[in-house]
Amino acid sequence: MAKKDYYEVLGVNRDASDEDIKKAYRKLAMKHHPDRNPDNPNAEEHFKEAKEAYEILSDSQKRGAYDQYGHAGVDQQAGMGGGAGAGGFADAFGDIFGDIFGQGRAGGQRSNVYRGADLRYNMEISLEDAARGSETKIRIPVMAECETCHGSGAKPGTSPVTCTTCGGHGQVRMQQGFFSIQQTCPKCHGGGKMVKDPCPTCHGDGRIKQQKTLAVKIPAGVDEGDRIRLSGEGEAGVNGGPSGDLYVVVHLKKHAIFEREGGDLHCEMPISFTTAALGGEIEIPTLDGHAKMKIPAESQTGAKFRLRGKGIKALRSSDYGDLICHVVVETPVKLNEKQKELLRELENLNQMDSSKHSPKAKSWMQKVTDFFQ
């Protein structure tokens, strides 16, 4: 049976670079690996085809012979290993092991130095602090480097020793079928070192739990969900690794008057029946004090009035938002007899020409009539 063209097997052009060939092989090996396709009897055959094609095309000498003479030029060398091709194949195969089994590169040595974990702190602030900016102090629990052993985990005067199980590599080699893979050392848990005499303060961990007080500067304009990053203020690293970061997540407290929407502020503005009908001037609150606002005659509930520049300057903007007031016409309550009499008189006068004095009611009633007809 004639062999398939190696370039077609990997799905690359004949002028493909070494990197393109490696990527194509890794993709096919991941797709057709027998361990990933236990129910597919053809997977192993496709896997072997890709392996053979890569062994030839990853070696410059074998590839040259194949390009000139086809399979006849490489059949005696295929699968024998050695040379540059064998090294390239081992590299790519090691990468695939990492993808399939979750391990590092085959034959590699893991570092036992780890970066500390990032931390999150939820902070509630007032709308005023968000608008103007402020500075506050927070207290957080963290895993800090042990001052007694300086992070080594060993009793002062002693040092960690090389793990006898993995020889300091942090990994041990295990055999799975015809594959040889590496796994985290069960003795040192990947650290490569063992502590025979643990530090009495941290009990061999190298870190201790502490309460740390930090000053947090809140920039003006922060909004709900914004994060403030404090570099290096997270948990301490392991075996001298760098510390993680602390992320302060901002949450806005509910305000008694205003609701924020980006740089704009919204508020409800109750006005009297008389002011809504005749117009007038009212005083409204802002974050900077009080302001005057003119209400035009015949204003209705739901009308919106805007005060330019009385909102908040957003964090990444140089412009201030607006203050938007939503009118709510307040119905009089607890009326005395005189007030009730005057309102009845007003109602009687309005009834003489309801379409003129109550255009919305007239329009609504017409829609109701049309609906039932």
CB atoms within 10 A of CB 73: 16
The tokens describing 35, both together, are 């361990």
Q: Tell me what the mean pLDDT of segment 20-45 comes to.
A: 83
The pLDDT value given to residue 14: 87
CB atoms within 10 A of CB 289: 6
Average pLDDT, rounded, for the chain: 82
Nearest partner of 87 among 49, 59, 109, judged by Cα? 59
- Of 82-91, 115-124, 191-200, the one with minimum mean pLDDT is 82-91
b/e per residue 312-339 (b: at least 16 CB within 10 A)? bbbeeeeebbbbbbebebeeeeeeeeee
Alpha carbon separation from 146 to 81, 118, 140, 207, 323 (Å, rounded): 50, 18, 17, 5, 52
Q: Report pTM.
A: 0.56
The model's pLDDT over 256-315, given as tens digits with 9 standing for 90+, comes to 999 999 999 999 999 998 898 899 999 999 998 889 999 999 898 889 999 999 999 988
Please, what's the largest Cα pairwise distance for the chain? Answer: 116
Query: Which phi and psi (to 5°) does residue 281 adopt?
Result: -120, 130
Q: Which domains does the chain have, with CATH numbers?
A: 6-101 (1.10.287.110), 111-151+204-254 (2.60.260.20), 259-372 (2.60.260.20)
Nearest partner of 331 among 281, 268, 271, 257, judged by Cα? 271
The model's pLDDT over 8-18, given as tens digits with 9 standing for 90+, comes to 989 999 888 88
209, amino acid identity:
K
Q: With 60 as the cut, is the pLDDT of residue 97 above it?
A: no
The model's pLDDT over 156-172, given as tens digits with 9 standing for 90+, comes to 988 888 888 888 877 88
Alpha carbon separation from 268 to 126, 271, 292, 327, 368 (Å, rounded): 19, 10, 15, 6, 30
DSSP annotation of 231: T
Q: Quick one: residue 112, left, alpha or beta (phi over 0 = left, psi -120 to 50 = alpha)? A: alpha
Nearest partner of 137 among 212, 210, 215, 211, judged by Cα? 215
Q: With 80 as the cut, is the pLDDT of residue 112 above it?
A: no
The pLDDT value given to residue 159: 86
The pLDDT value given to residue 219: 94
Nearest partner of 125 among 253, 230, 227, 246, judged by Cα? 253
Q: Tell me what the mean pLDDT of segment 180-207 comes to.
A: 82
* Alpha-carbon span 216 to 124, nearest angstrom: 12
The pairing of strands 323-330 and 264-272 is: parallel
